[in-house]
Structures are given as structure tokens and as C-alpha cells.
Structure 1
């Protein structure tokens, strides 16, 4: 009996380790509930077969990448009166121009905050940039990058800068290839000494 319990616990742990993949991807893609559900399902599926968590993880990864909205748990009227919870889809509130701001966390502009208006923000050393760096700032191009709007989604675009624009995880943005931003997203210019964060306005 003890050996069987050890086997089940091992399979459960292996499934949970595989489930970390959809969990982390879900957090990165702004769909943490789907990621958490993927982790749970991968862990439980490991109890049935050692290879099943891999299939479950792939299913959840596809779900995370293809779904437009995160899964949310809401109380139904029955739940408010002591019934069960109801799982529904609900659109994630989309940010609007003016409802977000940018805060500089490190570097020569540390502590400064900029509202992200309908026209977005340009970063660089030139005077026409809304986020304007001192002329001697190393690694910053004249027109380094920009935040723009694609519909209701703010995106970060590298403007072919010399030293690059990076998301906080270290992924460098290819020039002129927009990356979607969300509240809490951090990115840096050239190096982590010039770090910014998206926040609610």
C-alpha cells in the first residue's frame, strides 16, 4: 500500500511539473486562470497515466494561445444564495487610451510617470519624444521605440534602435514588430538599467 502511494505521489508531482508550462505561459499571456486550470488538470491527469499530462498541457497551451479572453469564475444568483458556482466566459476589460500610464522604474527618468494617450508615446533622445532622455544617455537611440494603439490594445514597437528594446523576461523585440502590453507589463531599453512598467491611470 505504501509503495502504491509513493507511485501515485510521484505521478502527481510529475504531472504538476509538466503543468508549470501552461501555468507560466498563461501568466505571460495575461490568462492566469487558464494557466492555473492547466496546472491542476496536468497534475490530476498524471494519476491516470504518466504521459497524459503532456497531452493535457498541449491542449491548454492551444487554448491559451487561441482564446481571446481568460476564463473567469463568477457567482450565479444560485451561488449567492448558497448554491454552486457557475463557470462562464466574460470579456477581460480592455484598456482605453488615457486609462493607462507608464512609470519609469530605473534609469535617468526614474520616478516619472507618463499618461498613455490616444497618440501613444515615443521614446528616445530627440526633443519630439514624449519620453525624452538626456542626450548623453548610453544605449538610447534618437527614436528608440514607441507605444501605440492597435484598437483597444497598447503595443510596444522597437523603431530599429541600435541597442534594442526588451520585455522584462529578456526577449528582444524585432524592429517594427508590435508586442501587446498589459497592466503590469515591464520592459526595458538597451539594458535593465532603463526599466518601465505599464500601470492603470
Structure 2
């Protein structure tokens, strides 16, 4: 047995400890990756169902839970899938008044002045109505599967309610209103509109119904 001077560490022992730490790191990274792969299921389903925030939260929770036990990501994925399918709306993350009163802030963009009713058009970019264009008249536009809707979807279109949403006028500004639809109405950035809460539209604004496969854009007439 070789004796080492005081104050000097046995290199063989040090190499063994480093090897153990390396093995542990590999195991943790493997479990993290496995959890993230399982979390892709609620993430992709959430995107498709128009609930991207729930999907992202599911992915994060599944990935982190893999560090504790390999069965936890599977359980959490099932929980988030049920949440996505059963909930009518996506999560909406808002800042608390205390946070807003501090140094944090949110950048907003003021809409450009809008033309009078009749000088704007709505164009469908994706979905079963792709390529169609609708003039936005003084009465606005109703979206849905019902025959009384100006923007009428085929009856088998998934995710679209009978009366899904509407474009209306507030003065010279067109606004988008969700009519308590089942799968929601979203601006192009992913923000879901609360039911019956108008959101101002401008030329170039994009929004989608239920999922990004049904996308519209406001254009000049």
C-alpha cells in the first residue's frame, strides 16, 4: 500500500470520485431528456388544441419530474392531456398589481388609425376557407359553423363553435370578440381572448380560431 504525504490527495481516489460524479450527471441528464420527450406529447397536443401555455407547462413539468422518478413524467403527461382536453380555455398569465408597480413593464403597441367601415377586408390564410376574402362592413362579421355566419365554416370543421367569434366596430376601430367559444380565439402571438372582451384590430393583425390551422388577417380593402 502506497502512503501519500500529508496534504496530498490520492489520485486514484480522486479519479474514482470524478467518475462517480460523471456517471450521476449522465443519469440525471438521461432522465431529464426522457421526461422532456414524454412532455412533448402534451406540448404538441396543446399547440394543436389552441392551448399553447398549458402545453408548454406540461413539457416543463414532465422534464423536471424525470429527475425524481421515471414514472412521474408519464403521470404528469396524462394529467396535462386531461386538462387540455377538458378545459375550455388556455391559461392566461397576468402580472400582479404589485409586480406592475415595480420596475417591470410590458411593451404595448398602439394601433394605427383605422379606416372607416367598408374599407377593410378579412383574408383567410389557412384552413378550410383559405384564400377567401370578406369585406368588413358596418355590421362587422360573424364567424362560426351556423348558416347565419358571414364567415361560415363547414359543419365538420374541428374546434369551431356554431357562433365562435365576431368582428365588430367601436367607432372607427374594428375589434375582435370571442363569443364564449369552446376552443377559444387567439391573436397571432398566442394570447387567448377572454370571452366577450373586445381586442382592437389593425391592418396586418393576424388571429386564429382554436388553433393556428385557421388563421385570418386584416387587410386594406
CA contact 1:70–1:89 (8 Å) conserved in 2? no
CA contact 1:41–1:56 (8 Å) conserved in 2? yes
Query: Which secondary structure state, in structure 2, belongs to the residue aligned with residue 154 of structure 1?
Result: strand
CA contact 1:74–1:86 (8 Å) conserved in 2? no
Pairwise CA distance, 1:93 = 4.0
* Number of residue-to-residue matches in the alignment: 201
Matched residues in 1 for 2:199 and 2:71: separation?
Answer: 34
Pairwise CA distance, 1:192 = 0.1
Query: Which secondary structure state, in structure 2, belongs to the residue aligned with residue 11 of structure 1?
Result: helix
Give me the TM-score of the superposition, normalised by structure 1.
0.55
* Structure 2 unaligned blocks of 5 or more: 1-20
Flag the 1:21–1:139 CA change in 2: closer, same or farther, 3 A.
closer
Deviates more, 1:94-103 or 1:36-45: 36-45
Deviates more, 1:128-137 or 1:9-18: 9-18
Query: Which secondary structure state, in structure 2, belongs to the residue aligned with residue 175 of structure 1?
Result: coil
Deviates more, 1:79-88 or 1:107-116: 79-88
Query: Which secondary structure state, in structure 2, belongs to the residue aligned with residue 72 of structure 1?
Result: coil
1:73-102 CA-partner distances (Å, limit 9, x unpaired): 999999999999999999954311000000
Pairwise CA distance, 1:6 = 39
CA contact 1:187–1:197 (8 Å) conserved in 2? yes
Name which structure has the greater RCO, CA cutoff 8 Å, separation 6+: 2
Matched residues in 1 for 2:82 and 2:122: separation?
Answer: 31
Deviates more, 1:23-32 or 1:52-61: 52-61
CA contact 1:166–1:188 (8 Å) conserved in 2? yes
1:103-126 CA-partner distances (Å, limit 9, x unpaired): 000000000000000000000000
CA contact 1:188–1:196 (8 Å) conserved in 2? yes
Larger Cα Rg: Structure 1 or Structure 2?
2
Pairwise CA distance, 1:151 = 0.4
Matched residues in 1 for 2:186 and 2:146: separation?
Answer: 20
